[in-house]
Amino acid sequence: MAIPWMLIAVFIILVLLAILAIIRIRRKPEDKTGKHPKGYYLNKGMSIGMIVGMLIGFIIEAITNTDSLAFPLGFFVGMAVGSLIGSAVEKKNADKLRPLTEQEKKTNRISRLIGIILLLVLVVVIFVLFLIR
């Protein structure tokens, strides 16, 4: 069976979301205090959770050999669980956090906008995939 172009589009969008998450984790402004910016652990937890959730969803779909919602649901469940874990770690390390700089605030706004747009495209593509079946 040939891979439908929509499935390839979903994969590309997920890869773009993962790249965006990696870029956000790696960008660290020079800081002499040695503290992480506020939201650091939350972002890291969400990024790792999304990747793990997608992998688990993919494995479930591969094992059951069905076209279920396990892959997209794994993404969202992973994001939610990663947020919870990241939030808990952030509260635990509250003394090691600093306020965001203006450049970090600007980068966060742009990253969120790009992420929301990609997420909306992903939702539309998944919806269309299930409509054509």
Q: How many CA atoms lie within 13 A of 53 on its CB side?
A: 22
Is residue 132 situated within a structural domain?
no
- Number of structural domains the chain divides into: 1
Between CA 68 and CA 72 the distance in angstroms is 9
* Alpha helices for 1-133 (secondary structure H): 5-26, 40-64, 70-92, 102-131
Is residue 115 situated within a structural domain?
yes
Is residue 1 situated within a structural domain?
no
Is residue 102 situated within a structural domain?
yes
**Mind listing the pLDDT tens digit for each residue in 42-88?**
988 988 888 888 888 878 887 887 777 777 788 888 889 999 999 99
Is residue 129 situated within a structural domain?
no
Is residue 131 situated within a structural domain?
no
3-state secondary structure 14-47: HHHHHHHHHHHHHCCCCCCCCCEECCHHHHHHHH
Q: Tell the burial category of 33 from Cβ atoms under 10 Å away from its Cβ (0-12, 13-18, 19+).
A: exposed
Is residue 3 situated within a structural domain?
no
- Which CA distances in Å does 110 have to 77, 113, 119? 24, 5, 14
In the predicted model, is pLDDT for residue 101 greater than 60?
yes
Residue written as token pair 């909306």 = 120
In the predicted model, is pLDDT for residue 27 greater than 80?
no
Q: Which pLDDT score, from 0 to 100, does residue 53 have?
A: 87
- Return the number of other C-beta atoms located less than 10 Å from residue 46's C-beta: 23
Q: Which domain holds residue 45?
A: 10-27+35-124
Is residue 41 situated within a structural domain?
yes
Between CA 123 and CA 132 the distance in angstroms is 14
**Mind listing the pLDDT tens digit for each residue in 75-97?**
888 889 999 999 999 999 999 89
